[in-house]
Structures are given as structure tokens and as C-alpha cells.
Structure 1
Amino acid sequence: MKRLLTVVAILAIAAVAAGLAGHRYWQSRLEAPLALDEPMRYEVPRGAGFNRVVAELEAQGVLTDRWAYQVLARLEPESIPQLRTGEYQLEPGMSGRDLLALLGSNDVVTYPLTIPEGWTFRQMRELLDDAPKLENRTAEMGDDEIMTLLDREGQHPEGWFFPDTYRYHKGMSDVDLLRQALSRMESMLEEVWAERDDDLTIDTAYEALIMASLIERETGAPEERREIAGVFKRRMEQGMRLQTDPTVIYGMGERYVGNITRADLREASEYNTYVIDGLPPTPIALPGRAALEAAVNPLPGDTLYFVARGDGSHHFSRTLREHNNAVNRYIRNR
């Protein structure tokens, strides 16, 4: 009996030792570096499960011990992360444990997309259409359909998307970026409107958005924005028309090919501020924060006219005679 107990004890000890050795080996396979000689990108497809991902990585030669991950899923299911759709950068020296942590993180490969200040919504849509790795859900939609999709049914899209650099990852869609830009603009406009001057000639935040779009299209010089806003404010106070060329260009749409004529300036259009009083019915571009701030905080003064010098800046005039002289100097002579 003693001998039997001894044998049983030896076998039990051997089993425990073997189990410990097996456990250590299993853990060592999870801690072993991936079979990578150089960085690579791996995409977790939408809806992919853990087993599928492990199988794909084995097929690509990244993992060499698939069994270790299958055992992990059985023995420690709580350690398996919720996989996130997107592209991930795998690096040499990364272990299997590191890989699992990465695939359950937000550390996906991202791409920048810059919407310039002063662009139109049409230009923004074209940029989204051409963005690599971005799912396009709106290419076949009209502007009205897009605004309905964004829960803004009946709202004109122009001006409502904040120009900035956004980052996206594979698995996101153009709708995701549109929502971000829309939310940014609505928040920015609300913030800026709350800090407006008391004696404006505009009555609503939306009119401030329209005014900001005119300012944005008239100049890219930061120091001029408030002065241009001041000119527009004084013209409206005196019952003068704004007479700003960018509104004519916007109203022409795709007919605009680089220049406007006197006939274009006289053309009846709801956007042509040479023939309509006050502001156009909607913004004509996507204004940035500086233009929004200028629209609600115009620079005081007495100038009523301005003309482009040809170097990106403008000459501002108090009288029509001075303005006509400036036009001769900077436009006709050029």
C-alpha cells in the first residue's frame, strides 16, 4: 500500500510539474514576438470575431501558434478584448498579448482630411468623395437628402460645416465626418453669437453665419476681416447694397469660369448683392472661426468701399471718388 501511495504521489507530482511546464510554455507562446520583420497594417473587418482574426493572422504568417490563442479563448475568455473595426499598425517585437491589447484599443490608423476655410459645400462633398479609406454613403444623394440624414430636414447645407482638419479611420463613413463638422459649426456659432456686439445690423445667429461667409470669401488676410465686416455693417446701416463679387460668383454656380462681367453684375439672382438689398438668403461658403468672430464684432470706422490690391490685401476707401481712384490704380491699370 505504501508503495502504491508513493507511486500515486510521484505521478501526481509529475502531473503537476507537467501542467506547470505546459502552462509556462503556453504563456511563452502568447508572450513570444510576432513573426514580423517589418511593420505591417492589419485591418479588423466589420463584424469580425476573435477566431476569424486569429485565423487570418496565421494565414498571413503573423501568428505561428494559433492553438495558444484558442486555448486562451477557452480558459480566459475575459482576457479576449472586444475587437474594434479599423486598421492597426503591427510592429516587429510586438507580442501576442500586445497584439490583443492593440486590437481592442482605439489606437487605429487614422487619416487626415482638411476642409479649407472658404470652400463651398459642393467642394467639401467632392473632397469626401475622393478621401481614401473612407466609406462613401452620400455620393448618390442630393443635398436635401444629406441634410435629412443628418436630422436637419429642410435646412440649406451651405455654411453649416466647420472647416478644419478632421481625422478618420477605415470603417468610418463620410456621414461620420459630416456629423462632426456640423456639430462643430453649430457649437462654434452658438459660442460666437453669445459674444456679439450690441449694435449689429444682423438679428440672428444664422445671419451672422451668412455674413461670416461673405467675409471669408472676400479676404484671407486675418487683419482685414473685422474691417470688411465694418464696411458691410455701415453699408447696411445706410441702406446701401453690399455689392460683393463672391455672391455673384456663388449665384452663377458652375457657369462661373474665372471671371465675372458687367452683365453678370446686373443679372437678377437671389444671391447677387448688386441687385438685392441686404444679405443673400444663405451662406455662400464655409466660414472659419475668425470670420465668424469678425461678423459679430465689426471694426468701427467710416470706410464704405474696398478693392483688392492684387496681393491678397485690400484698399479701403471712405468716399466713392477715393474708391474709383483705387479701382483705376489696382484694377484697370492691372
Structure 2
Amino acid sequence: MQSMSLLGHTANMSKSYLDGEEREMEWRKKVTKMRERLKSRLDENTIDGKRDDNLFHGMKLVSSTTMFGNFTEICYCEETQEYLVIDPPSNMLRFSVQAKLIQPSYPLSGTMLFTKLLWCQKAKVLIGYVPNDDMIWLMTSFCMLYQVIRNEFRITDIFYEPMTNEIVVAGPNKVTRFPLANKESTMNPWKTMAYIDSEYGALWKLECMSLIPASTSMTRLAGSYMTTIYVLPLEPLKEKEDIVPVMFLARNPAATEAAITALLFHDTSQWIITGDEQGNVMGWDLELHCIMSCPGGHKGYVQKIVVHPSICGFITCGEDNVLQIWSCNLRGKVS
């Protein structure tokens, strides 16, 4: 009886040992699957479990279309959910978000000679303008003309501020604003500001600019001349200061080794991003302290800086025909 009891106890121990071993094996299988699933999700070249070696940091070609002609500008209209492409001299092409041509195109009159487009979502207005000229066209989302404005100075760039529903018109050394609340009536500028950097003399002008929106606590303008970066006010600092040259909110002389060729205010990180003639890419806070620096980010000068549509970052393209994606999370460039 005792030997049978011992045999039964031994059998129970063996069974428990086997059950424990099976449970451990099952557990190990689950952990392995979890690790594989996590690795797959972290793999930038994998989508839905399928690997694609042509995929680069989450961007993948979805669709494309062939375009012919000389196109000067492309603008996305949120109201119609179409890309509008200027086809000079008298045509506005329309494309869907799937890159399919939409017919008919919008005809432009012989006087609508703008080369730049800006969509103002809150005002439901398309703005057309020509850099280094003084004309501004206000249109509906279907390119029907509201009115034409002749600005008081030559235009370098135009920005839209949705919180105040106005356009900010920037020139080489002046900035003015047009409210869009009553776009059907005659529009007049207000709060024109003039700037000058006496250290550079009469040749000084703003070369690169980007709007710092009201969401940052106050509307300002980031700008540059040669190797100097500025933060400029859009409100007079004193009473009756309109048209009188105003003080800069911040100024960093010789911030870069080479002349700045591209500039962007990145709203999410609240950095001013600059690119220069030597391909250096740098980031600055609103007090113009350097936050990030990548010497030789491009071979040749930086041509353009735009906000990345999904990650907290931005995209640069340079003279080297290279497009690069950068992160603003202080972990360096995303490569």
C-alpha cells in the first residue's frame, strides 16, 4: 500500500512537472509572438505585417498622375478637398486627393496673373499674389473673383492667421494686415509696421519669413537677413508707432556661418527652423537660442523647409536634390 501510495505521489509529481513545463512552453510561445508583433510594429519598413523595402519612415507612394506644362503653384483647398494647380496663363487645374484630374478646370481672366496661392479656411477665401509685385486677388474656392487689392508696398510673402481671420502681407521692410471678415466689401490695410536694422544700413531687407501664429500667445513674424535671425512684432510696442521703424523682439546676429536660404516656424515644437547656403539645418527657440544643429545636413544650399504632415517634425529639400525628414523631439534627425 505504501509503495502504491509512493508510486501515485511520484506520478502526480511527474504530471505536475509536465503540466508546468507545458505551461512554461506556452508562455514562452506567447512572449515570442508578442516580441515579433512588437518588432513588426516598430519596423518602419513594415505595414500590416508585410515588409516593403521601398518604404521610408512611414511614407509610401499612394497614387500618381502625369502632368504636362509649366506649373507655378499648387494649393490644397479644404472646402472642395481639391488640389489647385496654376497652369499659366489662364487656367486653374483641379486634382483630387487621389491625384486624379477633375474636369472642368477653372478658367482665369486675363487680369488674374498671380503665381502664388493661399487658402484661408475660416474666411473661405483663396488669395492670389505675385512676389515682388503689389497686387492681391481675393477669390472664392471656385476661383470666382471677389476683389483685387493694390497693396501699398511690394509683396514678399502673404500668411493667413485663422485666430484673427486676417492675412498678413509682408514686404522687404514692412508688414500690414487685411481683415477678411467682410471680404465682399472694399478692404483696407491696418496696423502697418516698418522695420530696419541700422547695423546693415539702407540695403537691409527681410529675405526669409514665417508667421508665428497667435496660438503661441501673440502673433509675430520670424525673419532673416544674411546670417541674422529676427523675431518681429506685428503690434506696435508704443502708442502711435505705426509706420515708424520698430524694435525687434529678438535678434541673433551671425547666428549661422552662411547666409540663410530657408526659414520656417514649426508650430508644434515652437521652433524657428533655418537652412543656409552650406546646407546646415538648425532649430531655434523664440528667444533665438539654438536648440538643434546639424552641420552639412544637405550638400549645397537648403531650398525649402515645410512642416511634416503627421510626425512632430519637418521636411527639407536642398540643392543636392535630397529630401530629408527631421524630428523635433530632441532625439536628432530621423534618417
**What TM-score do the two structures reach when normalised by structure 2?**
0.25
Greater length-normalized contact order (CA 8 Å, ≥ 6 residues apart): 1
Q: Which has the higher helix share?
A: 1
The structure with the greater share of residues assigned to strand is 2
Specify the structure having the higher radius of gyration (Cα).
Answer: 1
TM-score (norm 1): 0.25
